[in-house]
């Protein structure tokens, strides 16, 4: 009771002090005689102020679980959401939805999807080429910046790609070193670096506590203890001889590993599985072309040679 009373007094006091004109709040505070109703009288009759325009909103729900609130025993807290999602992306997640609709927060793969959606809206904003259907989402992107809109299109590193890169190194400098193999970072400014650093931190937090196992991997520094068939060894030997002359880009690498796999009894699927086995000790993993392009060429070729023996 004491906590509720403090809240009902603090809210109208802040309205008066900060001159608040609009106040969003959960729909439970909008009930008759609730926090907003009592605060409206207090700010007027005691503080001589004016109540802000109310915007009641629906609850946030953890996808597939229910209301996202500590009292329900939710496995994901608001602080978790802040730590695993870049702040501007989290802002966008809420702003893109009508306040009267429930927000389903997905702490799994949905975290990657919302980041990708945010980046797409950012591109549309700066190109000024969007449909009427996309207009509200683009506007949500702009509002999500808290009046600090970038003056030009920021450097974008696909979030899903960053998830892979973060798992290939232990440091932010390592992240930059790996990205330089596939991305043009020459025009990065301090703002771009800080944004990338913040996203890297969020990705690490997500991977450590909320990412599904399907996206997790670890590059084996030494040849993992896997059994390879004669066909797999032969295929990896072919790649060891072909890759040195291949331009080290995702597209060129992808074409080469696919073409060579198709030309063997293994076929593409089993050929790719052989590559994943000797690199991450699994039979599946990140998109292969981009993954290999992010790695040191000498390391990849050396592993192919070792595995073919």
What local confidence, expressed as pLDDT, does residue 153 receive? 94
Looking at residue 70, what DSSP letter applies?
Answer: G
Secondary structure element (H or E) that encloses residue 160, with its range: helix 159-166
CB 25 within 8 A of CB 56: yes
Mean pLDDT of the chain: 90
- The predicted model gives 248-270 an average pLDDT of 95
pTM here is 0.83
Q: How far apart are the first and last CA of the chain?
A: 73
Please tell me the distance from the alpha carbon of residue 23 to that of residue 17, in angstroms, as a whole number. 14
Query: What percent of the chain is modeled with pLDDT above 70?
Result: 94
Residue 300 has pLDDT above 90, yes or no: yes
Kindly indicate the confidence band of residue 6, based on its pLDDT and cuts at 50, 70 and 90. low
What local confidence, expressed as pLDDT, does residue 27 receive? 84
What local confidence, expressed as pLDDT, does residue 3 receive? 45
The per-residue pLDDT for range 217-257, each reduced to its tens digit, is: 999 999 999 999 999 999 999 999 999 999 999 999 999 99
Left if phi > 0, otherwise alpha if psi is -120 to 50, otherwise beta: which for 69? beta
Please tell me the distance from the alpha carbon of residue 188 to that of residue 173, in angstroms, as a whole number. 14
Choose the final residue of a domain: 216, 244, 279: 216
Choose the final residue of a domain: 183, 216, 249: 216
Residue 131 has pLDDT above 70, yes or no: yes
What local confidence, expressed as pLDDT, does residue 98 receive? 84
CATH code assigned at 183: 1.10.10.770
- The predicted model gives 85-94 an average pLDDT of 92
- Domain membership of residue 68 as a residue range: 61-216
Query: What percent of the chain is modeled with pLDDT above 90?
Result: 75
Please tell me the distance from the alpha carbon of residue 29 to that of residue 38, in angstroms, as a whole number. 10
Q: Where are the alpha helices (DSSP H) in the chain?
A: 2-18, 35-45, 78-84, 87-95, 110-127, 132-143, 159-166, 172-179, 190-209, 230-242, 250-262, 267-280, 288-293, 297-308
Kindly indicate the confidence band of residue 148, based on its pLDDT and cuts at 50, 70 and 90. confident
Residue 8 has pLDDT above 90, yes or no: no
Answer yes or no: is 199 within a domain.
yes
- 73 and 207 together in one domain: yes
Domain count along the chain: 3
Answer yes or no: is 224 within a domain.
no
Q: DSSP letters along 114-128, please?
A: HHHHHHHHHHHHHHT
**Tokens for 153?**
């299109």
Kindly indicate the confidence band of residue 1, based on its pLDDT and cuts at 50, 70 and 90. very low
What local confidence, expressed as pLDDT, does residue 68 receive? 53
What local confidence, expressed as pLDDT, does residue 2 receive? 45
- The predicted model gives 125-145 an average pLDDT of 96
Inter-axis angle of helices 132-143 and 87-95, nearest 10: 140
Answer yes or no: is 225 within a domain.
no
What local confidence, expressed as pLDDT, does residue 61 receive? 75
CB 40 within 8 A of CB 32: no
Kindly indicate the confidence band of residue 28, based on its pLDDT and cuts at 50, 70 and 90. confident
Please tell me the distance from the alpha carbon of residue 42 to that of residue 20, in angstroms, as a whole number. 14
Q: Which residues pair with 54 in a beta bridge?
A: 23
- 113 and 136 together in one domain: yes
Kindly indicate the confidence band of residue 56, based on its pLDDT and cuts at 50, 70 and 90. confident
User: Count of residues for the chain?
Assistant: 309
What local confidence, expressed as pLDDT, does residue 33 receive? 84
Q: Which residues pair with 62 in a beta bridge?
A: 66, 105
Answer yes or no: is 221 within a domain.
no
Q: Which residues pair with 60 in a beta bridge?
A: 103
Answer yes or no: is 222 within a domain.
no
- The predicted model gives 16-21 an average pLDDT of 93
Looking at residue 145, what DSSP letter applies?
Answer: T
Left if phi > 0, otherwise alpha if psi is -120 to 50, otherwise beta: which for 72? alpha
Residue 195 has pLDDT above 70, yes or no: yes
- 68 and 192 together in one domain: yes
- The predicted model gives 26-50 an average pLDDT of 88
């Amino acid at each position: 009771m004491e906590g509720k009373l403090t809240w009902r007094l603090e809210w109208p006091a802040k309205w008066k002090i900060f001159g608040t004109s609009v106040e969003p709040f959960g729909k439970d505070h909008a009930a008759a005689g609730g926090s907003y109703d009592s605060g409206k009288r207090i700010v007027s009759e005691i503080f001589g102020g004016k109540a802000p325009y109310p915007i009641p909103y629906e609850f946030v729900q953890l996808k597939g679980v229910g209301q996202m609130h500590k009292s329900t025993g939710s496995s994901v807290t608001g602080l978790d959401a802040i730590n695993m999602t870049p702040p501007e992306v989290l802002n966008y997640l809420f702003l893109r939805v009508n306040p009267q609709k429930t927000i389903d927060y997905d702490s799994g793969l949905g975290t990657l999807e919302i980041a990708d959606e945010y980046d797409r809206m950012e591109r549309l904003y700066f190109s000024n080429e969007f449909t009427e259907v996309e207009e509200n989402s683009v506007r949500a992107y702009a509002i999500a910046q808290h009046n600090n809109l970038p003056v030009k299109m920021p450097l974008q590193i696909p979030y899903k790609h960053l998830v892979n890169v973060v798992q290939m190194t232990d440091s932010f400098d390592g992240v930059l070193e790996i990205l330089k193999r596939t991305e043009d970072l020459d025009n990065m400014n301090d703002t771009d670096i800080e944004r990338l650093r913040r996203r890297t931190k969020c990705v690490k937090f997500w991977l450590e506590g909320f990412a599904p196992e399907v996206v997790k991997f670890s590059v084996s520094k030494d040849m993992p203890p896997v059994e390879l068939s004669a066909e797999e060894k032969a295929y990896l030997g072919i790649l060891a001889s072909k890759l040195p002359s291949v331009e080290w880009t995702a597209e060129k690498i992808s074409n080469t590993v696919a073409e060579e796999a198709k030309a063997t009894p293994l076929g593409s699927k089993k050929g790719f599985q052989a590559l994943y086995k000797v690199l991450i000790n699994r039979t599946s993993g990140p998109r292969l072309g981009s993954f290999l392009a992010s790695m040191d060429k000498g390391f990849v070729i050396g592993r192919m040679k070792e595995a073919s023996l």
